[in-house]
Amino acid sequence: MQVLKRLLGALRPYWLTLLVTGALLLVLTGLELVPPLFQRRIVDEVIGTKDLSRLGVLLGVLVLVYALIQIANAGDLYLRHSLGERVIYDLRVRLYDYLQRLSLSFFERTSTGELMSRVTNDVEALEQFVTHGSSLTAVDLLRLVGTTSILLWMDWRLALVALLPLPIIAVSLRVFNQRVRPIYRNVRARLGDINSRLQDSLAGIRVVQAFGREDAELEHFAVESGRYYRARVRAIRTWATFFPALHFVSSLGTVLVLGAGAWLVVEGQTSLGTLVAFLAYVTSLYDPIRRLTEVDNVIQQAIAAGERIFELLDTEPDIQDAPGAIALDQVRGEVHFDDVHFRYGTGDEVLHDVDFHMAPGEVVALVGPSGAGKTSIANLLSRFYDPIHGCITLDGHDLRTLQLVSLRRHVAVVLQDTFLFNTTIRENIRYGQPDATEEAIAAAARVAHAHEFIMELPQGYDTEIGERGVRLSGGQKQRLALARAVLADPRILILDEATSSVDAEAEYLIQQAMQDVLRGRTALIIAHRLSTIRNADKIIALEEGRIREIGNHGELMSRGGLYSQLYRRQMELVGDELITLQMMDE
Dihedral sign from CA coordinates of 239, 240, 244, 249:
negative
pLDDT digits (tens, 9 = 90+) for 471-526: 777 777 878 888 888 888 888 988 877 665 556 665 666 666 666 667 778 989 88
More confident: 63 or 295: 63
- Report the distance separating Cα 524 and Cα 411, nearest Å: 10
Show the CA angle centred on residue 99, arms to residues 222 and 195, nearest 5°.
Answer: 5
Q: Select the more confidently predicted residue: 412 or 298.
A: 412
Asked if 114 contacts 196 with a C-beta cutoff of 8 angstroms, the reply is yes
In whole angstroms, give the CA distance from residue 171 to residue 313.
Answer: 34
Asked whether residue 580 carries a pLDDT value surpassing 60, the answer given is: no
d(C-alpha 218, C-alpha 238), whole Å: 30
Which of the two residues, 314 and 579, has the higher pLDDT score? 314
pLDDT band at 271 (very low <50, low <70, confident <90, very high): confident
d(CA 302, CA 131): 12
- Alpha carbon 441 to its chain centroid, in Å, reads 32
Report the mean per-residue pLDDT for the chain: 80
In this prediction, residues 294-312 reach a mean pLDDT of 77
Closest CA to 483 of 513, 525, 527, 521: 513
The residue ranking higher by pLDDT, 197 or 574, is 197
d(CA 491, CA 518): 9
Instruction: Single out the residue of 25, 21, 62 nearest to residue 280, CA to CA.
Output: 62
pLDDT at 350: 92
* Among the listed residues 353, 365, 368, the one whose alpha carbon sits nearest the alpha carbon of residue 546: 353
Q: Which domains, from first to last, does the chain contain?
A: 2-313 (1.20.1560.10), 328-410+494-501+521-586 (3.40.50.300), 418-489 (3.40.50.300)
Do 178 and 215 form a contact (C-beta atoms < 8 A)? Answer: no
* 373-396 tens-digit pLDDT: 888 999 899 898 999 999 999 999
pLDDT of residue 579: 43
Residue 542 pairs with which residues in a beta bridge?
547
Percent of the chain at pLDDT above 90? 11
Residue 445: the pLDDT is 86
Assess whether pLDDT exceeds 50 at residue 576: no
What is the reported pTM?
Answer: 0.68
Asked if pLDDT for residue 362 goes beyond 80, the answer is yes
| Residue 558, pLDDT above cutoff 60 | yes
- The lowest-confidence range among 57-66, 275-284, 550-559 is 275-284
In this structure, which long-range contacts are made by residues 34-41, counting pairs with CB atoms below 8 Å and at least 24 apart in sequence? 34/65, 35/62, 35/65, 35/66, 35/280, 36/276, 36/277, 36/278, 36/280, 36/281, 36/284, 37/277, 38/62, 38/65, 39/273, 39/276, 39/277, 39/280, 40/271, 40/273, 40/274, 40/276, 40/277, 41/273
Strands ordered across the beta sheet of 492-496: 411-414, 492-496, 522-526, 363-367, 538-543, 546-551
Kindly calculate the radius of gyration of the chain based on its CA atoms and give it in whole angstroms.
36
CA 524 to CA 538: how far, in whole Å? 10
Helix 214-266 to helix 166-203 angle, to the nearest 10 degrees?
Answer: 160
Question: Does residue 575 have a pLDDT over 70?
Answer: no
Asked whether the beta carbons of 351 and 340 are under 8 A apart, the reply is: yes
- Give the pLDDT confidence score for residue 578 in this predicted structure: 43
User: 486 with 516: CB under 8 angstroms?
Assistant: no
Residue that wins the pLDDT comparison between 127 and 353: 353
CA distance 30 to 146: 8
- pLDDT score, position 21: 80
408-420 pLDDT, tens digit each: 888 888 876 677 8
Average pLDDT over residues 516-539: 80
Measure the CA–CA gap between 236 and 59, rounded to whole angstroms. Answer: 44
Identify which of 367, 311, 393, 319 has the alpha carbon closest to the alpha carbon of residue 541: 367
**More confident position, 322 or 45:** 322
- pLDDT given at position 499: 60
DSSP H or E segment with residue 429? helix 425-429
- Greatest mean pLDDT range, 169-183, 275-289, 424-438: 424-438
Model confidence pLDDT, tens digit, residues 130-155: 776 656 666 677 777 877 888 788 88
pLDDT digit string (tens) for 9-36?
777 888 888 788 878 878 887 787 788 7
Give the pLDDT score at 135: 60
442 or 44: which carries more pLDDT confidence?
Answer: 442
Task: Check whether 434 has a pLDDT greater than 70.
Answer: yes
Of 132 and 455, the one with more pLDDT:
455
According to the model, what pLDDT value does residue 581 have? 38
Question: Could you please report the per-residue DSSP string of 60-97?
Answer: HHHHHHHHHHHHHHHHHHHHHHHHHHHHHHHHHHHHHH
Task: Name the 3-class secondary structure at 349.
Answer: strand
pLDDT: is 557 or 475 the higher one? 557
Report how far Cα 7 is from the mean position of its chain's Cα atoms. 17
pLDDT of residue 498: 60
Structure confidence at residue 337 (pLDDT)? 94
Residue 193: what pLDDT? 79
| pLDDT exceeds cutoff 80 at 3 | no
Q: Is 60 exceeded by the pLDDT of residue 275? A: yes
Mean pLDDT check: name the lowest of 53-67, 266-280, 442-456, 553-567: 266-280
Neighbours of 161 (CB within 10 A): 20
Dihedral over alpha carbons 405, 411, 417, 421 (to 10 degrees):
50
Q: How far is CA 433 from the centre of its chain?
A: 26
Does residue 268 register a pLDDT over 50?
yes
- The DSSP string of 482-537 is HHHHHHH--SEEEEESTTTTS-HHHHHHHHHHHHHHHTTSEEEEE-SSGGGGTT-S
Q: What is the mean pLDDT of residues 98-116?
A: 78
Average pLDDT score over residue span 50-73: 83
Q: pLDDT-based confidence at 118, cuts 50/70/90?
A: confident
| 280-289, 339-348, 528-537 — most confident range | 339-348
Angle at 326 between CA 325 and CA 330, to 5 degrees: 155
- What's the average model confidence in pLDDT over 47-52? 76
**Alpha-carbon distance 87 to 130, whole Å?**
8
Residues 495, 511 contacting (CB under 8 angstroms): no
Position 338 scores a pLDDT of 94
Which ranges in 102-213 belong to alpha helices (H)?
104-109, 112-117, 123-128, 135-154, 156-162, 166-203, 205-210
Distances (CA, A) of 150 to 34, 139, 163, 380: 10, 16, 13, 71
258: left (phi over 0), alpha (psi -120 to 50) or beta: alpha
